[in-house]
Structure 1
Amino acid sequence: MSETRHTISVLVNNQPGVLQRVSGLFGRRGFNIESITVGESEEAGLSRMVIVTTGDERTLEQVQKQLYKLIDVIKVIDLSSHPMVARELALIKVSAEPSMRPEILGIVETFRAAVVDIGPSSLIVQVVGDTHKIDAMAELLKPYGIREFSRTGITAMIRGAVK
């Protein structure tokens, strides 16, 4: 069995300590969380966690069973087993003296990103897309000097029909 990346949606009660219990479950079982995003869902009082982890099918099955044992967990869905839309956002602060800005703006335009702040010697670029797009953009901006890099982690949904 091979290690695969799994994107899991977990619908939970919006209560203090739920994030800690969910992340603790992963840690105790030796499952790594590559990324986790949490926010309000379409239902009042419920939050949705989108967790990216790696493992074989057996590992995923174990994770799902363990999650359902937590009292505040309502629903667990393996999004990656369906066609899905997955996005993350990154903010990248790049060294940018005025003479270098046209080159950097060319990269920003190519990636359909946006400059969200301009300082005397830096720019902050916002890029939204899949993990590969963000990695590729960061790689192209490295030669200019990345001063700070912050990314959200993946959020995702199943495509098409309502689930």
Structure 2
Amino acid sequence: MTIVLSGQDGVVEQARRQLEDLVPVWAVLDYTQAPLVQRELLLAKINILGPEYFEELLAHHREITAEVDTEFGDHGLEHSAVADFHPSKLVLSQALRLKHEHLKSITYFAHQFGGKVLDISTNNCIVELSAKPSRIDSFMKLVSPFGILESTRTGLMALPRSPLFDSNQDELKEADEIVDASSLPPG
């Protein structure tokens, strides 16, 4: 099992000691100075109906429709413009085209970030993305206007990179030089 800790050296050292004291733990290896491959997995259910429907769902879910009506009471022109643009006033073929464009955009963004669309339904799609945490954050910000209905992330996973050796390289490190034998289990 790989556990990623980030913090002050004293806190990390204390956590390492506490992990070593656990009975089922065989070894605790510190990869602080080692080059790592870090990834996180995201599954996100994204609305393909468009931001207008998503905002309507949020308003209904929070039960604040009365507050929205009083807010638009002061701005009658804005309310009528929003009501005229709402997709429910569109012809069905136009609404279908908009939904297709939204899905096409979400699919494009997912492919640009190295992800893929796993499932498509009439109102939403599920996207899978495995990347560095900063890339996942960027993807979430990019698709948030469509409406993220649900999302789940695994948390950071990491493994140390393996060294590369040339065929001409005579000096290979022995296993004892790479891993401290005192940190491994007996036997």
TM-score by length of 2: 0.57
Which residue of structure 1 aligns with residue 20 of structure 2?
Answer: 68
Q: Secondary structure at the match of 2:158?
A: strand
Task: Describe how 1:1-163 pairs up with structure 2 within 5 A.
Answer: 48=1, 50-97=2-49, 98-99=99-100, 100-161=102-163
Question: Which amino acid in structure 2 is aligned with residue 60 of structure 1?
Answer: V
More strand by share: 1
Q: Provide structure 2 residue ranges, at least 5 long, that are not aligned to the other structure.
A: 50-98, 164-177, 180-187
1:40-90 alpha-carbon deviations (Å, 9 max, x no partner):
xxxxxxxx2x22333211111111111111111111122232101011111
Q: CA RMSD in A?
A: 1.6
- The higher relative CO (CA closer than 8 Å, separation ≥ 6) is in 2
Q: Which moved more, 1:126-135 or 1:95-104?
A: 95-104
3-state SS of the aligned residue for 1:141? helix
The Cα shift of 1:128 comes to 0.4
Larger radius of gyration: 2
Asked if the contact 2:110–2:127 (Cα under 8 Å) also holds between the matched residues in 1, the reply is: yes
- Consecutive unaligned residues in structure 1, runs of 5 or more: 1-47
Deviations 1:19-52 (A, max 9, x none): xxxxxxxxxxxxxxxxxxxxxxxxxxxxx2x223
- Normalised to the residue count of structure 1, the TM-score between the two structures is 0.65
What's the secondary structure of 1:117's corresponding residue? strand
Aligned residues: 115
Give SS of 1:79's match.
Answer: coil
Instruction: Name whichever structure is richer in helix by fraction.
Output: 2
Aligned counterparts of 1:55 and 1:155: Cα–Cα separation in 2: 17
Distance 1:82 1:125, change over 3 A: same
Query: 2:20 is matched by which residue type in structure 1?
Result: Y
- Quick check: 1:79–1:156 contact (8 Å CA) kept in 2? no
Deviations 1:85-143 (A, max 9, x none): 01111101000132311221221121121000001010100000111111111111100
What stretches of structure 1 move > 4 A for 4+ residues in a row? Answer: none
Q: In structure 2, how many angstroms separate the alpha carbons of the residues matched to 1:80 and 1:87?
A: 16
